[in-house]
Amino acid sequence: MRKLILSALVATSVVAAAGTANAASGAVLTKPGFSWEGVFGQYDKAALKRGYQVFHDICSNCHGLKLVAYRNLSAVGLTEDEIKAVAAERELPDVPNDEGMISPRAGRASDKYISPFPNDQAAAAANGGALPPDLSLMAKARVGGPNYIYSLLLGYEDEAPADHPIPEGKSFNHIFPGNAISMPPQVMDDLVTYADGTKATKEQITHDVVTFLNWAAEPELDQRKSMGLKVMLFLAVLTALMYALKRQIWKNLH
Ligand code: HEC
């Protein structure tokens, strides 16, 4: 029996360890440590807002975020006016008018984040044939989640190793499965200027945009964790009350 438990434990730790290496490329992911990790971890509000700025200024030129409505961006610290302004930056086909003509209209707060390209074919054609995937659930879609995206964005090499040439138009990335990625390197120092004065190193920019993308994939995390804490507190108080009650009832019998 003991042996069985031991081997089960070993098996689980092997599986857990394998989870930290990227399944396809075998590269080990960097784990920068994020504020929302751990039992009580919550999103770092300032990082969320900075991360949104990076997504808006850089990533949203190629990637969509079609599961996030503009109005949800209030959770990352945008005001109502800022939300209206960012929604109006892009256009959507309107409903047909009385003559059946469809004209474009500006985006509204209630619209989902409007993708940069009208369709997947146009997106792929503009990116050397590779489709920039929608990033709404990317933090959940890859093994390693946020650590994968973090490591990927910082995983570029200027030159491919001599024994591993990369096709024209692609870049060498030691995290991406197969190493030849169609996304050029994105982050570099001082790529953005942060409104809150934070120094925009490439690690900081990456950390912030990954925070934003994790929020996009799991916006309810903060509520879930604070509800969990309340439930635990409630149960602790209830246990104490029950114990006191039990002692009261059994007092004369002991
Ligand atoms: C110039 C266009 C462009 C920009 C800007 C861009 N990407 Fe990409 N991205 C791509 C393309 C193209 C792919 C598909 C790569 C492939 O399949 O080889 C991609 C793929 C990805 C992937 C998926 C990798 C995988 O495992 O499949 C992630 C994550 C990603 N990008 C994140 C980002 C983030 C975060 C930003 C902003 C900092 C960003 N991208 C900016 C073009 C872009």
Q: What is the pLDDT of residues 82-96, one digit of tens each?
A: 999 999 999 999 999
Span of 15-24, 174-183, 190-199 with lowest mean pLDDT? 15-24
149 in Cβ contact with 139 (< 8 Å): yes
Locate 120 and state its tokens: 């997947």
Mean pLDDT in the chain?
91
Closest to 71 (Cα-Cα) out of 43, 117, 113: 113
Q: What are the φ and ψ backbone dihedral angles of 230, each rounded to 5 degrees? A: -60, -40
pLDDT at 39: 87
Residue 84 exposed, middle or buried by CB count within 10 Å (0-12, 13-18, 19+): middle
Distance CA 230, CA 253 (A): 35
Longest Cα–Cα distance of the chain, Å, equals: 88
pLDDT at 254: 64
Residue type, 22: N
Ligand 1 centre to CA of 133 (Å) is 7
Ligand 1 centre to CA of 210 (Å) is 13
Distance CA 59, CA 243 (A): 56
Residue 138: CB within 6 Å of ligand 1? yes
Ligand 1 centre to CA of 42 (Å) is 26
C-alpha torsion sign, points 168, 170, 173, 177: negative
Query: Above 90 in pLDDT, residue 173?
Result: yes
pLDDT, mean of residues 57-83 = 97
For 207-251, what is each residue's pLDDT tens digit?
A: 999 999 999 999 999 999 999 999 999 999 999 999 999 999 999
pLDDT, mean of residues 69-79 = 97
Ligand 1 centre to CA of 153 (Å) is 9
Query: Above 80 in pLDDT, residue 17?
Result: no
Distance CA 226, CA 235 (A): 14
Residue 62: CB within 6 Å of ligand 1? yes
Q: Whose CA is nearest to atom 3 of ligand 1?
A: 62
